[in-house]
Structure 1
Amino acid sequence: MIEKNFVFEPKHTVNLTDGSICWQSPSNIALVKYWGKTEPQIPKNSSISFTLTNCHTTTTLHYSPKKIPSRSFDFKVFFEGEEKNSFRPKIESFFNRILDYVPFITDFSFRIETENSFPHSSGIASSASGMSALALCLMSLQKRMDPHLSEADLLQKASFLARLGSGSAARSLEGPLVVWGQHPDVIGSSDLFGIRYPGEIHEVFGTFHDTILLVDKGVKQVSSTVGHNLMVDHPFAEARFDQAQNNMSRLMPILKTGDLDGFIDIVEKEALSLHAMMMTSDPYFILMKPNTLEIIERIWAFRKSSKCHICFTLDAGANVHVLFPHKDKELVDEFIRTELASFCENNQFISDHAGSGAKSASS
């Protein structure tokens, strides 16, 4: 599969009048991490993530055919009811990147209305859910113009487009486990789009929980884009990429058999390796906070004493994702309330779980 296969070349185009499209798309949390890329948004290693359920973005795309044709982008963006001009540069950059694949976007005036199910200041990255929701809206628009487009092709191209807005957005369309990045052991995997994990998944992983502890709700000191770029010429970069590929191979039989101890070992090492790359880049930086480390220590101690299969992972920030199987939910929920919540800003955390992916909310 190469990029030209995603260029819009309809055989029978339907002329559209004013309309709207709505999609709800979830965030995701990577188990094997992606950190380091080449242009245009090509990952240096494959990654796999749990699709979440409760942390999602709902985006409505209102469209009107332009009365006077032009090749410029015409859009307004609203976040939770208020116009957000600060969002325009990122969306305009996204439109420029995808123009070759959806050239019809210059034929319309758009009103983009978006909202998150989680507080905007919660420290949860919304780029994955937001960009995937917008990509799905644009692909639904393409399908209205070209009804012969299949649902499978719509999802695949939406993932392809979403990747060009935010790499991790490629993993937010399906669930419960999605792979992005080519890997020799994962049939159908690609650097250009995410795919639902094609291997056998033990039932224990279909109902996994993720409670997100909001340690720090502020803006990150270093953006993910800057962090990815610092992997260029990083002294440990190639070893890290090899480690991630090997961990993907190791994870596959674990997902099949339900080996929770093996799962914990890989997931926690991946989280710590991600932050090790940050701490050894040039310039170096630390996104974990003292409370992040305190939570990790307490999770380790609780796992040892309770025998629960609880573990942690981290994204590129201070917040801690607490992962655990459904069978341990009662014990872990109590542990989080009584021991971990106090290390969060205003005792805040978000309870979530593995989900099935994006949902159309259009009539």
Structure 2
Amino acid sequence: MISEKDFIAKSSTVTIDNGSFQWSAPSNIALVKYWGKRENTNSSNAISSEQIPANPSVSFTLNHCKTITKLAFAKKQDQSSFSFDLLFEGQPKEEFKPKIQKFLERIAVYCPYLKEYHFTIATENTFPHSSGIASSASGMAALAMNIMSLEKALYPEMTEDFFYQKASFLARLGSGSACRSVKGSVVVWGNNTSINGSSDLFGVEFPNTIHANFKNYQDTILLVDKGEKVVSSTVGHNLMHNHPFAEQRFEQAHQNLSKLKKVLENGDLQQFIQIVESEALTLHAMMMTSLPYFILMKPNTLEIINKIWKFRNETQTPVCFTLDAGANVHVLYPENVSETVLQFIQAELVGYCQNGNYICDQIGEGAINLSV
């Protein structure tokens, strides 16, 4: 079994003075939700106990909603601390820097070479930053891919499998769900007995053949509320520690992941819909029954859900919804009903979106190296 110690880079005999890399990494949408963190009792290092999921999750990797990040680096004299500049869409973004600083501090034990360089991080999203789409997963995944490109240059003997494993491991320490944005169209994060190779430390590609029904699966994201969340995901995760239904929820997630594994293999769209919608509502039920309790859905979120249920019941079209920790609605459906569902969205649902905004996306494959 792989442990955190396996990701600690040893001293390198290769010297690199400067250079740059560029990667894109997508966002993802969880089907079985990650909600709640726990201490890593197997860890011998306090840093690596961060971002350990209390339950496993599985997600669709998106294709169009992604972050593009270029990492330029140059050797520096003072190697006592981290040194970096951050540009977002070409402009300095000071408010993003504390999160990057914290990320570098978390991964320093695994990437000791980082203090040897000054970095210029230039990043941009293919979706509006204020769109209400969480960019932490795509942003941290893209940054982790660049850091691993530097590490690969310092350690050229590195295997491709290790490269992607460690990239996912590092991304997790920036944002838990970011580990699911590195590689694969369907990604599992968290130990689960039904998924070979699954780990709390990094995401793994779904190991079995996925049914043709899920090829090019569509995700139209309805932007109900583009404002900042009232309660951050970090705070929400922490509220699971003393939650009255926490243990039942964690067990439910394990069971739903095992069920969804079979569904992804056999193509049963009706059971897919049932599991995915139940997971979305359970996520928000956990928020509404924590102390303090909170509601991230908006009235228009509920209007959209009821419209989807009515449309599906009347037309038997296999369309469903899922939600992240916010008000926006992800409308999921097979590619072969795209025309029908998009007509329904434009006729019935767009009016519930803020300024009529929505984003059309579909399943993607993960991070892409733009350096070559």
TM-score by length of 2: 0.96
2:138 is aligned with 1:135: no
CA RMSD in angstroms comes to: 0.8
Give yes or no for contact 2:63–2:362 (8 Å, CA) kept in 1. yes
Secondary structure, in 3 states, of the residue corresponding to 1:233? Answer: coil
Q: CA deviation at 1:40?
A: 1.1
Q: CA deviation at 1:252?
A: 1.2
CA deviation map 1:254-299 (0-9, x unaligned): 1111000000000000000000000000000000000000000000
Q: Which of 312, 315, 319 is equivalent to 1:303?
A: 312
| Matched letter for residue 95 of structure 2 | S
Distance 1:248 1:58 in 2: 31
Q: Give the aligned partner of residue 337 of structure 1.
A: 346
Q: How many residues align?
A: 361
Give yes or no for contact 2:20–2:71 (8 Å, CA) kept in 1. yes
Give yes or no for contact 1:78–1:112 (8 Å, CA) kept in 2. yes
Secondary structure, in 3 states, of the residue corresponding to 2:145? Answer: helix
Correspondence list, 1:117-156, <5 A? 117-156=126-165
Q: Comparing 141-150 with 185-194, which one deviates more in the overlay?
A: 141-150
Q: Give the aligned partner of residue 333 of structure 2.
A: 324
Give yes or no for contact 1:176–1:206 (8 Å, CA) kept in 2. no
Q: CA deviation at 1:316?
A: 0.1
Secondary structure, in 3 states, of the residue corresponding to 2:179? Answer: helix
Q: Give the aligned partner of residue 44 of structure 2.
A: none
Q: Give the aligned partner of residue 63 of structure 2.
A: 53
Distance 2:93 2:81 in 1: 19
Q: Give the aligned partner of residue 73 of structure 2.
A: 63
| Matched letter for residue 33 of structure 2 | K
Q: Give the aligned partner of residue 246 of structure 1.
A: 255
CA deviation map 1:138-191 (0-9, x unaligned): 000001111111121111000000000000000001121000000011000000
Distance 1:301 1:199 in 2: 34
Q: CA deviation at 1:18?
A: 1.7
Correspondence list, 1:41-190, <5 A? 41-66=51-76, 68-190=77-199
Correspondence list, 1:196-345, <5 A? 196-345=205-354
| Matched letter for residue 346 of structure 1 | N
Q: Give the aligned partner of residue 36 of structure 1.
A: 36
Distance 1:175 1:331 in 2: 28
CA deviation map 1:27-60 (0-9, x unaligned): 0000000000024110011000000000000000
| Matched letter for residue 289 of structure 1 | K
Give yes or no for contact 2:210–2:264 (8 Å, CA) kept in 1. yes
Q: Give the aligned partner of residue 9 of structure 1.
A: 10
Q: CA deviation at 1:207?
A: 1.4
Give yes or no for contact 1:59–1:133 (8 Å, CA) kept in 2. yes
Secondary structure, in 3 states, of the residue corresponding to 1:164? Answer: helix
Moved over 3 A (4+): none
| Matched letter for residue 17 of structure 1 | D
Give yes or no for contact 2:131–2:226 (8 Å, CA) kept in 1. yes
Distance 1:239 1:181 in 2: 17
Q: CA deviation at 1:200?
A: 2.3
Distance 1:305 1:314 in 2: 23
Distance 2:368 2:115 in 1: 26
Give yes or no for contact 2:79–2:117 (8 Å, CA) kept in 1. no
Q: Give the aligned partner of residue 43 of structure 2.
A: none
Q: CA deviation at 1:115?
A: 0.2
Distance 1:13 1:297 in 2: 61
Distance 2:218 2:306 in 1: 20
Distance 2:65 2:25 in 1: 9
Give yes or no for contact 1:215–1:291 (8 Å, CA) kept in 2. yes
CA deviation map 1:317-353 (0-9, x unaligned): 0000000001110100101111101100110000000
Distance 1:281 1:329 in 2: 38
TM-score by length of 1: 0.98
Distance 2:353 2:94 in 1: 31
CA deviation map 1:57-110 (0-9, x unaligned): 0000000011x1322000010100110110111000000100000010000000
Q: CA deviation at 1:13?
A: 2.8
| Matched letter for residue 4 of structure 1 | K
Distance 2:297 2:350 in 1: 17
Secondary structure, in 3 states, of the residue corresponding to 1:121? Answer: helix
Give yes or no for contact 2:61–2:186 (8 Å, CA) kept in 1. yes
| Matched letter for residue 58 of structure 2 | I
